[in-house]
Structure 1
């Protein structure tokens, strides 16, 4: 098959990544408004969302969140997300506290 005859992948396979990135963009906005704890928690939540989507969706529908095997992706995304949420909620003070 030539390059022109290959079927184009559906844009729908990128929806899981888009959902995760929407949460990350909201987190970056909150961090830029000096609500760093909320932003950090949202980044962790985005990772947990990626883990949930990776666990639910088959590999051919997971799009860009499918990097390794399903179990490894789910474990790493979920674990890292929970660690980020824990750290964001447990650190006292803020970046501009003196």
Structure 2
């Protein structure tokens, strides 16, 4: 009975560990998959808005999460990453707002 309890990481196995480690990028990729579906359905404007939203989500995750938890969203320093993601996401949304829908939304 002196056996040490199993660590929290070992209780969930490799899949649980993978999900916890990569959750921020998986969330962003899930939003990008939604954008890809919209783009495949010729919903260019909506798809572009969702891509911009995914980039802004990456900025929010990079801002709120510690560097060790954010995974591959951490490219440079936190201020640089947040600024770059925000400018890129905002720019994509501005461009999406200027897309002429031509009757297609």
Per the TM alignment, residue 37 of structure 1 is displaced from its structure 2 partner at its CA by 0.3
Q: Distance in 2 between matches of 1:73 and 1:90?
A: 26
Alignment RMSD: 1.7
- Is there any run of 5+ residues in structure 1 with no aligned partner, and where? 1-7
| CA distance in 2: counterparts of 1:13 and 1:41, whole angstroms | 27
Query: Quick check: which has more Rg, 1 or 2?
Result: 2
Structure 2-normalised TM-score? 0.78
Query: What is the TM-score normalised by the length of structure 1?
Result: 0.83
What is the aligned partner in structure 2 of residue 69 from structure 1?
77
Q: CA deviation at 1:13?
A: 2.2
Structure 1 residue 64 displacement after superposition: 1.1
Q: Give the ranges of 4+ consecutive aligned residues of structure 1 lying more than 3 Å apart after TM superposition.
A: none
Structure 2, unpaired ranges of 5+: 1-13
Is it true that 1:92 corresponds to 2:100 in the alignment? yes
**How many residue pairs were aligned?**
87
Shift in Å, 1:93: 3.9
